[in-house]
Each structure stands twice: as C-alpha cells, then as structure tokens.
Chain A
C-alpha cells in the first residue's frame, strides 16, 4: 500500500498562512440532532467537499525549496528547487559541501550572474550534467507571490517560510569557532536583508540546445 499524505494543503490560490486549510479527517461526525438535520447536511456536504479537495491536492513535496526574493525583484517567477528529484541523483554533500549551498533557504546569496559563471545551480545546469540555463521556465516555475521557504510534510500548511539567519548551534560558526556562548538567538533571527549587488541576468535565451527537452520553454514573466 502506498504511503499517504495528510490532507493538509495550501488553499488553492491563497496565501499559505491561511489556517483554514482542509481538515485532516473526513466528515462524518458533524450534526446529529433531528432538529439540526439541515445543518448537518450542509456540514456533511462541506466536509465531503473539503475532504475531496484535501485528497486531490496533496500539497508540495516535502523538501521543495522556493527561492523568491531576488527572482521577484528581477521580475521573474520564483524558483522551485525539488530536493526529492536531486537527492535521487546526488548525495547531499555534493551541493551542501562541494558546491557551497547553505542548509538554510535563502542563506546562499546567488543570482543569475553566479549561475552563468558556473557556480551553484550553474555547475550542473550547463548543458553537460543537466540542461542549461536557457530553460528559464523549468526553474522559474513557482507561483507568484510565494515567499522564500521550504515545503515540509510535518507542518499543516505544508510550507514554511525561510529563516534567513542560520539558527545553528549556539557556538555560532559564523563567529568562527566552537567557543560556546550559551546565548542561542532564541527565535529572534536577525534580518539579513543584504542588498545584494545586482548580477546581470542573461539578456536572452542562450544558444545552448537541450536535446532532452527540445521544446523551448519560455520564461514566465510577471504581468
């Protein structure tokens, strides 16, 4: 029997922080009294509907990363990075040690300029290891308006916003070492709104042909 997801999902088209996502349990316990049959029927109807909606949209896959801040500033749709897809092909260490991706969404400062220069995603998405950067829409595939974040199966609404500052071990590696300071930044992530130097996005689709994906993918510009 295949494993099943919980019924929580993003409300279609809405903000992910909407607490009114479909309930985890199907209807069947509402109403009861004969005087409330009409209400019960409505409730059951709504329950069944919510149930069906919940069933048919299981939510984003656990580990799907959304990078949106710079993409949005550059008038592009947010980037969706699927962990499940990449971890079948690469161990975590390839990206998180060899290529220098941080283990905190939004913490790796990167832009198209880095990618074109062969860093980060661009180390692989260069037409050799994987299809090249001309296929904008395969990466810039996110719904407009999403914040930086990551999908997590464990959290009801499925999608948690990124904490920009790494709330790592108290011994903050950033200060450079194992000097144990007993003050964890307890839930007070200092905002790292680093105004990153604008890197130049490629002016247009590059010539790089993609044999695996011959259909040209157009970028999804924001209106």
Chain B
C-alpha cells in the first residue's frame, strides 16, 4: 500500500493531473441515466434523435429507487407523481384487487409477499391469469432460476418492472416459526 502511495506522490505531476482531469470529466458527463446518443441502441446519426426526450429529464423528478429505471414506480403511482391513463381514452374504471399471497418456498431467504394491491393498479388480471399464474394460491410452481430466466415474476421483473437484482423488494417477509411449505 505504502508503495502505491509513494508511486502516486512520485508521479504527482503530469500523470496525476491528467488522471484527475479525465476522471472529473468522466464524472461530470456521467448521469444516473444514459444519454440516448450514447446508449448503444439508438443511431446517433438519426436526425430525429434530438426530438426524443432524454430519460433523465423525465425520470429525475420521480421518486428514486435503486436499479432499473432508478425510479420507484410504485411510489410514483401511489403518490400521484404520475397518473398514467387506465384506458386508452382515459375514461372508465379498472378492476383492482387487494389480496396478498405469501410465497414461502424461498429456502433460506425471507418469504415473498405478492401483493395484488400493488400490481392491479398497473395490470389487468389477464396479464397474469392464466397465462403466467394459476388463479389459486400455491398452484404455480415458481423457482428463482425460472424467474431469472424471464418466466413467472421474471416476465416483468427482468426487464420492465424493478429488476430481479433487488432481492429484498420481493423477499421481505421474515420467516416465522409457523413452518414453511
């Protein structure tokens, strides 16, 4: 370690200055959200690109979260920070459901509480039943490996809703003495 320090102090001149400059520039450019022109999927030469909204402009005012879009979409919806239309023309009402399902086949991890109350303000029953989940608690054999593959909860939580890396947002129900299974 001491050798590294002396290495840096000995070279404190040009190299460190350059390094610092480059780093500062890098940090200054760095935004929590990528710029469209650098995101690897947009064509930089598309003349329409400047007309598209930069993610940071839309997402930075929303309630923050770790991972995914950097937005806690549940809080954004519940707090009224956003009010996405429930139907195409904005009229009509939607069917919601307040029903929690405790999923206990989690091995050493805390149990998973699946909340219909969180999901149904976004999704229709038909988005999950019967395509992804049975309409009966405990009927669908779900495993973490399949979720990571993009099945079950992973259909959405792999790529659109908060990502599978955020274990504790699903596994948040401490296991109690009342046995598992």
- Bound: A94/B94 CA distance, A: 11
Min Cβ gap A120→B in Å is 12
Min Cβ gap A163→B in Å is 7
Interface centre among B40, B42, B45, B47 (most CB of A within 10 A): B40
B156 close to chain A: CB less than 8 A: yes
- Bound: A85/B70 CA distance, A: 13
Min Cβ gap B62→A in Å is 8
Residues of chain B from 12 to 28 with CB closer than 8 A to chain A in the complex: 15, 19, 22-23, 25-27
Residues of A with C-beta under 8 A to B140: 169
Please encode chain A, from 133 to 154, with 1 for each CB lying within 8 Å of some chain B CB and 0 for all others: 0011110111110100011111
Q: 20 more A-B contacts (CB under 8 A) besides A60-B41, A154-B165, A217-B47?
A: A2-B70, A5-B33, A32-B4, A55-B30, A59-B34, A60-B34, A63-B159, A64-B41, A88-B84, A92-B127, A93-B87, A140-B46, A151-B41, A152-B158, A153-B67, A153-B69, A168-B155, A169-B130, A169-B152, A213-B51
B88 close to chain A: CB less than 8 A: yes
Count of A-B contacts judged by CB separation below 8 Å? 247
B41 touches A48 (CB 8 A): no
Residues of B with C-beta under 8 A to A195: none
- Bound: A136/B70 CA distance, A: 29
Residues of chain A from 15 to 73 with CB closer than 8 A to chain B in the complex: 16, 32, 34, 37, 40-41, 44, 48-49, 51-53, 55-64, 66
Closest B residue by C-beta to A21: B40
Residues of B with C-beta under 8 A to A196: none
Interface size of A as a range: 35 or more
Given A55-B29, A60-B41, A129-B88, A141 contacting B46 (CB threshold 8 A): yes
Min Cβ gap B114→A in Å is 15
Residues of B with C-beta under 8 A to A58: 30-35, 38-39
Interface centre among A97, A146, A184 (most CB of B within 10 A): A97
Pull 19 A–B residue pairs with CB atoms less than 8 Å apart, ordered by A.
A3-B32, A57-B39, A61-B69, A83-B160, A85-B58, A88-B82, A92-B160, A94-B84, A94-B85, A103-B127, A137-B49, A151-B41, A153-B68, A154-B67, A154-B159, A159-B40, A160-B159, A178-B130, A184-B151
A215 close to chain B: CB less than 8 A: yes
- Bound: A16/B41 CA distance, A: 9
Interface size of B as a range: 35 or more
- B-contacting residues of A (Cβ < 8 Å)? 1-5, 9-12, 16, 32, 34, 37, 40-41, 44, 48-49, 51-53, 55-64, 66, 77, 80, 82-85, 87-94, 96-99, 103-104, 123-124, 129, 135-138, 140-144, 146, 150-154, 158-160, 163, 166-171, 173, 177-178, 184, 187, 213, 215, 217-218, 220
Closest B residue by C-beta to A135: B48
Interface centre among A16, A34, A62, A82 (most CB of B within 10 A): A62
